[in-house]
Structures are given as structure tokens and as C-alpha cells.
Amino acid sequence: MDRVIIFDTTLRDGEQSPGCSMNHDEKLRMAALLDEMGVDVIEAGFPIASPGDFNSVKAIAESTKNAIIAGLCRTKKGDIEACAQAVAPAKRRRIHTFVSTSPLHMKHKLNMQPDDVIAMIAESVAFARQFTDDVEWSAEDGSRSEDDFLARAVETAIKAGATTINIPDTVGYALPTDYAAKFTMLLNRVPNIDKAVLSVHCHNDLGLAVANTLAGVAAGARQIECTINGIGERAGNAALEEVVMAIRTRNADLPYTNNIDTTKITGISRALGEITGVSVQPNKAIVGANAFAHESGIHQDGVLKNPQTYEIMTPESIGLSKNDLVIGKHSGRHAFKKKMEVLGHDLGDNALEEAFAKFKNLADRQKKISDEDLIALVS
């Protein structure tokens, strides 16, 4: 009951992030890394979007060893057929189809009456089920949909054969309390809800994607849709590494299990940065360059005495070999000595005093002190 399915959409929603498009080989490389890391579902693309996307989804379906391969499609038969063909070679395949359910989207985007949307859900899900028994249905703009209509739409999708029901916070508008309430409402009101897995999909427009994700899971969702480094439309999606490390670090309060090998986090985050040319900001949680770096003398001293003083998780747990002591003007003697030892210079008391004075002088003039600068001080 407490196993959460990790559904990675780096190659689909993530790729919709400006500047983050990937070519065929890059997508295959990312898919292999995601599979190795243990994600349960890889959403490999949107097959109808372009021949390139179709071919990448198909190649990922052919080569992936463990994960379920999903493709996204709208409700049109041609979309669903393209998706079915692209994921067909996978050992385990999923068709993920979606339609908007909020009053705003139905009126202005779809230009459809709610009853017609219900009919379309029934038809598209049933059609997708002809190709696979693993069909996910998403209520686009689900968090801004009316409860009565959303409950009816979800019941219809499950009746037509959907096995996963995803309620996206498409525009990143929800607060954790409202988002959780949507899941509670569905669990209480939809008679066939026990026949499907509920899923969260949160965007980060208000910086709440991870908080909303965890709130949805606490309310009963058991699939998390997320991306590496949190890339995705506009402000991005919930970051896989943040969600997974929150669950691992606070497991007494978030008692869920998953299949992710967290020691692969740093490697995959850097691979994605290298592929897209978009690296994360230095203070990004978990994978930012400063996430395990301690600069102030007080913090450095504490971490050297006992890492738990200022670290809630170990660098090794995300695949970093050691904590990174950043040496700057706030650093103390203890950290400076330690850093010099790492750089191969075990300084005696006098040499240490002399080098430390020179270092403080340099740090007053220079913002960043590199390893080379430190070595130059003592050579």
C-alpha cells in the first residue's frame, strides 16, 4: 500500500521546457540512465508531435530493460494509434491519454460542452485499451476542475478501462491543502476508484510542486510524476530528486517506498545538464553545486566534527563522494587545514599560520578561491 510508483516525464514534459530539447541519441542515453536508476515508468515522448519524437519513443521502447514505457496522446484516434505503435516494442507499455476537464479549458480551449467531454473520455480510453491493458488517463487542469464534473470524468475513465488516473496541477496554481482535498474527494465519491492508481503531476509556478506532490501522496495518490532537475513547462515540474530525497530523509513522516537508487541522482542530474546545456542553479536543492557545500567557518567546523550538525542527508546518498568544503573568506583555520590535506598539503603549525594569513588576505580581494589558488599559496 505504501509503495509509490515513480513516473518520470523528463523526456516528455521536461523536454517541453524552453531550451531543453534533446536529440534521438541524447534521449536514448537519458532513458538508459533513468532505467538504471530504477524509475518505474518512463514517459518517453509525445509520438504524434513529430516523426523524431515517434522514432525516439519507439527506440526507447525497443531498448529499455525494466521500466514501463509510456507515450502521451490526445483523444484523437490517430494520436492514440501513433502512441500505440511507438510503445508497441516495449516489454511493458502504457498509453497515456488526456483531455481538459476545467470549465475554463473546456469552454475556451476545447470549445466543447461538458457532456461531450465525458463521451470523448469514454471513447478514447476504450480505444486505447484495445492496444494495451495499461492505460493512464489525465484530467488536464484537474486541480481547477469542479468536483462534481471531475468525479464524473474519473468514474467514466475507469469504467472505460483506465488503470491509472492522473490529476495534474497543470498551471501550478494549487496549494497543498486544495490539491490533497481533490484526492480525498475522489476517493470518497468515485464508486470504482479502487480499480485505478491515483497519480500526482505538479507544476512549479508558485514553487509548490514538491509540496503539492507530497500532499497528494499523503491523501492517497500512489504514483508521482516528476522530472530530473525539475525541468518542464514554464517553471517546471516536481523534481524527482527532491521528492525522492524528501521521502528518504523524512521516512518516518512520509512512510512510502520506491525503487529509486538515490546514489544515481548526481550522475543523472549532471548528464541532463550536459545534454541540454541547462545546468541547475547553485542553490538548487539536492543537486545544486552548493547543496552540500559549507562556507561559513562555524558550519565548516561543525561538519568536520560531526556532519549531522549541518547535513540532513549524506552526500554519498546522492552519489557525491564527499562533502564539498568551499573555502572562502568566512572559512576558519580548521576547514582550511582540512582542505589543504585533501589537496595533498599536510601543513605543520607554522606553515599553517603563514598560509592561513595569506589565504585570508587573498579571500578579501577575490570572491572565489580555487584549488589552484590554494596550492599556489603554499608552493
Determine if 323 is a binding residue for ligand KIV (CB under 6 A). no
Closest to ligand KIV by CB, 17 or 56: 17
State which of residues 98, 127, 179, 336 lies at the interface with ligand KIV (CB under 6 A).
98
Binders of ligand KIV among residues 148 to 187 (CB under 6 A) are 166, 168, 170
DSSP for 219-264 reads TT--EEEEBGGG--STT-B-BHHHHHHHHHHTTTTS--B----GGG
Closest to ligand KIV by CB, 47 or 328: 47
Applying CB under 5 A, the site for Zn ion has a residue count of: 1
State which of residues 15, 35, 140, 301 lies at the interface with ligand KIV (CB under 6 A).
140
Shortest distance, position 5 Cβ to ligand KIV, whole Å: 15
Burial of 191 (0-12, 13-18, 19+ CB in 10 A): exposed
Rounded distance, CA 280 to CA 101, Å?
Answer: 33
Q: What is the number of other CB atoms lying within 10 angstroms of the CB of residue 156?
A: 21
CA angle 318, 310, 317 (to 5 degrees): 15
Question: CB under 5 to 8 A by kind: which of Zn ion, ligand KIV, none does 213 bind?
Answer: none
Strands 223-226 and 197-202, bridge-based pairing = parallel
Interaction pattern, residues 8-37, with Zn ion; x per rule: CB under 5 A: -----x------------------------
Question: CB under 5 to 8 A by kind: which of ligand KIV, Zn ion, none does 43 bind?
Answer: none
Q: Which residues contact 258 (CB under 8 A, 6 or more apart)?
A: 3, 4, 5, 6, 38, 40, 244, 247
DSSP letter for 131, please: T
Among candidate residues 304, 239, 286, 338, the one with its CA nearest the CA of residue 8: 239
Rounded distance, CA 342 to CA 28, Å?
Answer: 37
Applying CB under 6 A, the site for ligand KIV has a residue count of: 9
Determine if 201 is a binding residue for ligand KIV (CB under 6 A). yes
State which of residues 8, 13, 40, 242 lies at the interface with ligand KIV (CB under 6 A).
13
Contact in structure between 120 and 126 (CB atoms under 8 Å): no
Shortest distance, position 138 Cβ to ligand KIV, whole Å: 4
Closest to Zn ion by CB, 199 or 262: 199
Closest to Zn ion by CB, 13 or 40: 13
Determine if 46 is a binding residue for ligand KIV (CB under 6 A). no
Determine if 301 is a binding residue for Zn ion (CB under 5 A). no
> What sign results for the dihedral spanned by CA atoms 301, 304, 305, 307?
positive
Determine if 54 is a binding residue for ligand KIV (CB under 6 A). no
Determine if 136 is a binding residue for Zn ion (CB under 5 A). no
Helix 77-87 × helix 51-63 angle, to 10° = 40
Question: CB under 5 to 8 A by kind: which of ligand KIV, Zn ion, none does 98 bind?
Answer: ligand KIV
Question: CB under 5 to 8 A by kind: which of ligand KIV, Zn ion, none does 40 bind?
Answer: none
Question: Footprint of Zn ion on this chain (CB under 5 A)?
Answer: 13
Question: Footprint of ligand KIV on this chain (CB under 6 A)?
Answer: 13, 98, 138, 140, 166, 168, 170, 201, 203
